[in-house]
Amino acid sequence: MVPISLSLSLSCLGWWTSGLILVLCFLKLICLLVRRQSLARAMDSFPGPPTHWFFGHARELQQTGSLDKMLSWAQQFPYAHQLWVGQFLGFLNIYDPDYAKAVYSRGDPKALDVYNFFLQWIGKGLLLLHGPKWFQHRRLLTPGFHHDSLKSHLSVFAACTHAMLDKWEEKARDGKSFDICYDVGHMTLNTLMQCSFGKRDGDLSQRDDHYHRTVATLTLLVQERIDSFQYHNDFIYWLTPHGRRFLRACQVAHNHTAQVIKERKAALQDKEEQEKIKNQKNLDILDILLSVRDEKEIKLPDADIQAEVDTFMFAGHDTTRSGLSWVLYCMALYPEHQHRCRKEVREILGDQKSFQWEDLGKMTYLTMCVKEAFRLYPPVPQVYRQLSQPVSFIDGRSLPAGSLISLNIYALHRNSSVWPNPEVFDPMRFSRDDVSHRHPYAYMPFSAGPRNCIGQKFAMAEIKVALALCLLRFELVPDFSQLPIKFPQLVLNSKNGIHLYLKPLGLSAEKGLCQE
CA count, 13 A, side-chain hemisphere, 96: 18
372 three-class SS? helix
Q: Residue 106: which of 399, 501, 481 has the closest Cα?
A: 399
| CA 68 to chain CA mean position, Å | 20
Looking at 363-455, list the stretches that DSSP marks H as alpha helix, in order from N- to C-terminal side: 364-376, 409-412, 432-436
- Kindly tell me the burial class for residue 273, based on how many C-beta atoms sit within 10 Å of its own C-beta (0-12, 13-18, 19 or more): middle
CA 447, 247, 124, 489: dihedral to nearest 10 degrees?
0
Find the helix or strand (DSSP H, E) in which 457 lies. helix 456-473
471 three-class SS? helix
Is 453 annotated as a binding-site member?
A: yes
Give yes or no for a contact between 303 and 261, defined as CB atoms under 8 angstroms apart: no
Residues 6+ apart with CB under 8 A from 197: 260, 264, 284, 285, 286, 309, 313
Q: What's the CA gap between 355 and 510, in Å, rounded?
A: 11
Give yes or no for a contact between 256 and 224, defined as CB atoms under 8 angstroms apart: no
Q: Residue 342: which of 235, 471, 448 has the closest Cα?
A: 471
Q: What's the CA gap between 367 and 340, in Å, rounded?
A: 12
CB neighbour burial string for 464-473, b if at least 16 within 10 angstroms, e if fewer: bbbbbbbbbb
Give me the phi and psi of 405, to 5 degrees please. -120, 135
| CA 157 to chain CA mean position, Å | 20
Looking at 280-422, list the stretches that DSSP marks H as alpha helix, in order from N- to C-terminal side: 285-291, 302-333, 335-349, 357-362, 364-376, 409-412
Q: How far is CA 150 from CA 6, 27, 142, 455, 498, in A?
A: 72, 53, 12, 10, 29
Give yes or no for a contact between 385 and 111, defined as CB atoms under 8 angstroms apart: yes
Residues 6+ apart with CB under 8 A from 332: 338, 476, 477, 478, 500, 501
Q: Which residues are annotated as a binding site?
A: 453
Q: Which residues are annotated as a binding site for heme?
A: 453
